[in-house]
Amino acid sequence: MDFIVSEFINLIKGCSNGLALEKEVWRRGIELQSQAFARALEIYDAELARQYVGKQEILRIDQRTVLCMFGTVTFSRRLVRREGGEPSRVEEYRGFLPSGRSLRFCALHSALSAP
């Protein structure tokens, strides 16, 4: 939280008027949110990889870019094949359904509340 506050303090110091400040706070807030969500997806992907050690084969690690309601999110995730199954990715495992280049965030709540 201190990092975010210091970012906003720098914006306050660097903006010449209230409107410019609001625009920069909005832009920087969205940017931080996108970065945090991308990092959360990567951490979750790593947790899944540890959970299924010995029960899956990691085929490769790809970059994925999705358009979210709050902006573009780019993250790394594993393509895995579980014992005799089809290849899958973290967003498929947790119920994120690709819709063009967007994720349907109606699945986000269930993904985050699942064990």
Backbone phi, psi, residue 49, to 5°: -60, -40
Q: What per-residue confidence (pLDDT) applies to 82? A: 72
Least Cα distance to 78 among 38, 115, 112, 44 occurs for 44
* Whether 66 contacts 73, CB under 8 Å: yes
**Average pLDDT, stretch 85-110?**
51
Residue range 20-35, pLDDT digits in tens? 999 999 999 899 999 9
CA distance 66 to 102: 5
pTM above the 0.85 mark?
no
What's the rounded Cα separation, in Å, for the pair 7 and 83? 46
What is the mean predicted confidence (pLDDT) over 61-67? 85
Is the Cα torsion angle 70, 76, 81, 82 positive or negative in sign? negative
CA distance 55 to 3: 39
Sign of CA dihedral 89, 79, 61, 65: negative
Helices (H), 15-104: 18-51, 90-93
